[in-house]
C-alpha cells in the first residue's frame, strides 16, 4: 500500500529549491503564466509541504488561505510531481489526501483543464463537485476558475455543478461578466486587483445574475 506523508517545509533545502525551480520552468512553458512564489514565506498565507511517498520525496504542494464574504477557506495553490514519479497515480493521490487531510475547499485552474468530459470526471473522482467563476477572468481556455469541494450557501453567485453543462455555463457567464467589468471600470480586473475592488465587483456579479435569472 502506498504511504503518502505531507511534510511542512520551514527551511528551503536543495531538494525543494530544485523542485520549485523546475515547477516554475514547466508552469511557464505549459500555461504561459509566471509563478511569483519563489521561496518559503514569499506570500502571506502560503504554506508548502513536501510529498513523501514510501520514503521518497516525489514533489510538493502549496496551500493558500483565502478570505471572502462568506468567511475564510483553504485552497490548493500549486502541486508538483517530479518527472521520474509521473504516470504512477501520485498526483491524484496527493490531491485526494490534501483534500481530506487539510479540508481543502477550492483550487484555481484554467478552463482548458476542465473542458472535456474525461477531465471533469477526473476532478469529480478526486472530490471537486462545483465550479465557480472568478470575476475579471475571461471565460476562455487561459482564463481561471475555481474548482470547489464545497461552498457556502450564502456565497453561491457564479457557482455551478461540475458537469460538462456546468462548465459551459460558467465560461459563458465569466466572459459576459468580465466584459461588464471592463465597460464599467475601463479595464480588465485581475485577481490581485479583486482583493481591493471586491465590493464593486460583487455588485457587478450580483446585478448580472439578477438580470440573468
Q: What is the pLDDT of residues 168-210, one digit of tens each?
A: 999 999 888 888 777 766 655 555 554 555 566 667 777 777 7
Query: Domain range for residue 100?
Result: 1-104
The residue from 73, 88, 104 where one domain ends is 104
Query: What are the beta bridge partners of residue 159?
Result: 132
85 and 6 assigned to the same domain: yes
- pLDDT band for 60, please (50, 70, 90 cuts): very high
pLDDT of 55 above 90:
yes
CA distances from 148 to 82, 108, 128, 195 (A): 26, 9, 5, 19
Q: Which three cell numbers stand for residue 33?
A: 503564466
113 and 208 assigned to the same domain: yes
Q: Average the pLDDT over 42-62 and give the result.
A: 90
The residue from 41, 74, 104 where one domain ends is 104
pLDDT of 42 above 90:
no
Domain of 90, CATH number, reads: 3.40.630.30
80 and 123 assigned to the same domain: no
Residues 6+ apart with CB under 8 A from 135: 158, 177, 178, 181, 189, 194, 201, 202, 204, 205
Q: What is the pLDDT of residues 144-153, one digit of tens each?
A: 999 999 876 5
**Share above pLDDT 70 across residues of the chain, in percent, rounded to a whole number:** 79
The residue from 104, 124, 155 where one domain ends is 104
Amino acid at each position: 500500500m502506498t504511504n503518502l506523508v505531507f511534510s511542512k517545509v520551514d527551511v528551503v533545502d536543495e531538494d525543494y529549491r530544485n523542485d520549485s525551480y523546475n515547477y516554475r520552468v514547466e508552469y511557464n512553458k505549459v500555461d504561459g503564466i509566471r509563478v511569483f512564489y519563489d521561496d518559503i514565506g514569499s506570500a502571506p498565507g502560503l504554506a508548502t509541504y513536501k510529498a513523501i511517498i514510501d520514503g521518497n520525496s516525489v514533489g510538493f504542494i502549496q496551500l493558500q488561505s483565502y478570505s471572502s464574504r462568506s468567511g475564510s477557506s483553504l485552497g490548493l495553490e500549486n502541486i508538483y510531481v517530479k518527472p521520474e514519479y509521473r504516470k504512477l497515480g501520485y498526483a491524484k493521490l496527493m490531491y485526494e489526501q490534501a483534500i481530506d487531510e487539510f479540508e481543502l475547499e477550492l483550487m484555481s485552474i484554467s478552463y482548458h483543464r476542465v473542458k472535456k468530459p474525461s477531465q471533469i470526471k477526473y476532478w469529480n473522482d478526486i472530490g471537486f463537485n462545483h465550479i465557480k467563476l472568478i470575476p475579471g477572468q475571461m471565460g476562455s481556455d487561459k482564463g481561471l476558475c475555481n474548482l470547489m469541494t464545497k461552498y457556502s450557501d450564502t456565497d453561491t453567485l457564479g457557482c455551478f455543478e461540475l458537469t460538462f453543462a456546468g462548465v459551459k455555463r460558467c465560461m459563458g457567464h465569466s466572459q459576459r461578466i468580465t466584459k461588464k467589468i471592463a465597460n464599467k471600470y475601463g479595464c480588465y480586473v485581475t485577481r490581485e486587483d479583486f482583493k481591493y475592488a471586491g465590493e464593486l465587483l460583487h455588485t457587478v456579479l450580483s446585478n448580472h445574475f439578477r438580470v440573468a435569472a
